[in-house]
Structure 1
């Protein structure tokens, strides 16, 4: 006799297993295929994700920066990341200004984007599992937020191809937050350190080159 049948014999109802949180890839795909919507806004994603909104939206805004984008794109996508990362740093409730939350796109355009990233997003999600939980809980979570804030600041700087590594770091942190996976947080810390080193070297090189040009101009 199983435990469930013994409980029923004693007049008890079997306990329902705790439902698993739905994956971001599945939620985005469902929203994209919802033909009752004409447009998909950031607010729609924000409200659908609930208490996972910060991790989900940081991932949504960081992912496009993993590939070369037109000049100015990283600054546009980086602004919401600054808000979200700052809130994560200080343990604040997720919130976005109305001017950002109400930004939207046609459902068809949103569906096209999701169809391109869905496989990669789903693959990464399959690798997630709860582990090293101390790294995805306060106060360690606040440190992740601070590092994401630094990466978001770097991402908004007008540095050629300087947005990819910071975006990768933010994506790794976001996956860690969404999946409660401390391993991805560790990978995010490594990517953030690499990003700071590379971008710092690029900035130093630009400043040194500018100083050389100025020095020769007035020589």
Structure 2
């Protein structure tokens, strides 16, 4: 894409058009990354809401993500894209050494919708994640699912699902504890 573009800037629409069906996977990874570190409360909520939008589109069977026109027309400096690509390529090459297309069920339409349902669950858990550290296992899970989709590796997707299950359980326990505390304070229980 960088070789064919002539301008100083690339639009988000240009990037999505080149990525085609892998644009979903890239969005999933990008929405998971901020949650891999302890972040203040609005970050998991915003990432969770955006991931919810992406997951709904995957479940609906869309072939490429729908993004608002205002976002598609936003541009990114070509130098910034080149810098990001130069940083990402060594990491992706390391991942590609042991990752390969496996468990091709996730490449089918039904399999992708199943991944969409998984992401829907993870996004809802991110929305109510325990402050500061509750989003970390969910962020890791989302990133692994996204990377598994990029590499077409069902084993990586399943690893993300396993970590996501732990994250959802931890955050369900947090939500239960908060609700129980409120009920106790209100003498409802």
TM bracket, shorter-chain basis:
0.7 to 0.9
Which of 107, 122, 125 does residue 154 from structure 1 map onto? Answer: 125
Gaps of 5+ in 1: 1-26
The 5 A counterparts of 1:83-102 are: 83-94=53-64, 95-102=66-73
Q: Which protein has the larger Cα radius of gyration, Structure 1 or Structure 2?
A: 1
Instruction: Calculate the aligned-residue CA RMSD, in Å.
Output: 3.0
TM-score w.r.t. the length of structure 2 is 0.79
Alpha-carbon deviation of 1:121? 4.6
Alpha-carbon deviation of 1:197? 0.8
Which deviates further from its counterpart, 103-112 or 77-86? 103-112
Alpha-carbon deviation of 1:138? 2.8
| Structure 1 Cα separation of the partners of residues 130 and 74 of structure 2 | 26
Alpha-carbon deviation of 1:180? 1.3
Q: What residue number does 1:188 align with?
A: 160
Q: How many residues align?
A: 185
Q: Which structure is richer in relative contact order (CA contacts within 8 A, separation 6 or more)?
A: 2
| Structure 1 Cα separation of the partners of residues 43 and 11 of structure 2 | 18
TM-score w.r.t. the length of structure 1 is 0.69
Gaps of 5+ in 2: none
Q: What residue number does 2:103 align with?
A: 132
Alpha-carbon deviation of 1:207? 1.2
Q: What residue number does 1:3 align with?
A: none
